[in-house]
């Protein structure tokens, strides 16, 4: 876990609270950097971004991926920390071992107060997105730094190297995931064959289950939006458990208010759903 002493106020030296996302860019606007920034804005914090991957994608799929030079990625991260009051960092798609090492080196240097890791490792099709050396770098270098780790079922199974069954086995898997060193883990329940969505939280001594109705839609960018909501709440001073509780409630509302901007069947979440209700 990465910690830094900070003032509890949301404004320091005239600078508002900022949250940094280090992730991939989604040209379709429904996931990645694009939804991260919208989610930060919906929580009233200033959003910063360092692009770790460029994707050509829309609501029907991904057609191309380009990873920027790691030196340029580090320059983006340094530029953000040098100027802004970064209270939390959210990590998304980090495609190669080189990128993971570059990001880890930067975080070890800057020591952000909170770090949320959404371990984007498995495509919707089930295809593995990380090479073995990248997965090892993720396990050994990044996960021990996480304030909150937010794997879905396929990602948790890849990290643990075994299948996870619904119910008691999913509960037990929290302890195994915590052994990688993260302060807290939120095992997302969207892929588990349970009647409702049960997101399981664990932080060693604390355990909680956040429940929400299972909607008959396929959401795009749910993991990105949830991790960003958790990061924003951590930046605003919430505890990891409370940040996860608020984040799961936020994602349920954003998915329920989702819409279809493209020709694909996936629903793009609406991070501003609370404002529409008002």
Query: Of the candidates 85, 75, 5, 100, which has an alpha carbon nearest to the alpha carbon of residue 47?
Result: 85
Residue 123 maps to which CATH number? 3.40.1190.20
Domain count for the chain? 1
Q: Is residue 185 part of a domain?
A: no
Q: Is residue 240 part of a domain?
A: yes
Q: Is residue 6 part of a domain?
A: no
Q: Is residue 237 part of a domain?
A: yes
Length of the chain equals: 278
Q: Is residue 143 part of a domain?
A: yes
Q: Is residue 38 part of a domain?
A: yes
Q: Could you list the residue range(s) of the whole structural domain that residue 137 is in?
A: 15-154+219-277
Q: Is residue 234 part of a domain?
A: yes
Tens of each residue's pLDDT in the chain, 278 residues: 333 334 455 666 777 899 999 999 999 999 999 999 999 999 999 999 999 999 898 888 888 888 899 999 999 999 999 999 999 999 999 989 999 999 999 999 999 999 999 998 866 545 556 777 888 899 999 999 999 999 998 899 989 999 998 888 888 899 999 999 999 999 998 777 677 888 999 998 788 888 888 888 888 889 999 999 999 999 999 999 999 999 999 999 999 999 999 998 889 999 999 998 65
Q: Is residue 184 part of a domain?
A: no
Model's pTM, two decimal places? 0.92
């Amino acid at each position: 876990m990465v910690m830094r002493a900070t003032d509890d106020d949301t404004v320091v030296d005239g600078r508002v609270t900022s949250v940094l996302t280090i992730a991939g860019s989604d040209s379709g606007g429904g996931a990645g950097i694009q939804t991260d920034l919208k989610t930060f804005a919906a929580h009233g914090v200033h959003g910063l971004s360092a692009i770790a991957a460029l994707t050509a994608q829309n609501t029907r799929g991904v057609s191309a991926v380009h990873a920027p030079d790691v030196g340029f990625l580090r320059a983006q991260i340094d530029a953000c920390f040098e100027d802004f009051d970064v209270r939390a960092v959210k990590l998304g798609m980090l495609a190669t071992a080189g990128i993971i090492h570059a990001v880890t080196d930067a975080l070890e240097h800057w020591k952000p107060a909170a770090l949320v890791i959404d371990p984007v490792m498995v495509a919707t099709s089930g295809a593995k997105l990380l090479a073995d050396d990248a997965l090892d770098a993720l396990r050994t270098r990044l996960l021990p730094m996480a304030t909150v780790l937010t794997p879905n079922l396929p990602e948790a199974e890849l990290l643990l190297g075994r299948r996870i069954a619904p119910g008691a086995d999913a509960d037990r898997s929290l302890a195994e995931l915590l052994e990688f060193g993260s302060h807290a883990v939120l095992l997302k329940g969207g892929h588990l064959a349970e009647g409702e969505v049960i997101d399981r939280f664990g932080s060693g001594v604390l355990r909680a289950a956040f429940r929400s109705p299972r909607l008959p839609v396929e959401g795009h960018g749910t993991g990105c939006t949830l991790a960003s909501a958790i990061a924003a709440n951590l930046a605003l001073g919430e505890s990891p458990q409370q940040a996860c509780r608020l984040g799961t409630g936020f994602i349920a509302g954003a998915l329920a208010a989702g819409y279809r901007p493209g020709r694909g069947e996936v629903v793009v979440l609406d991070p501003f759903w609370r404002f529409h209700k008002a």
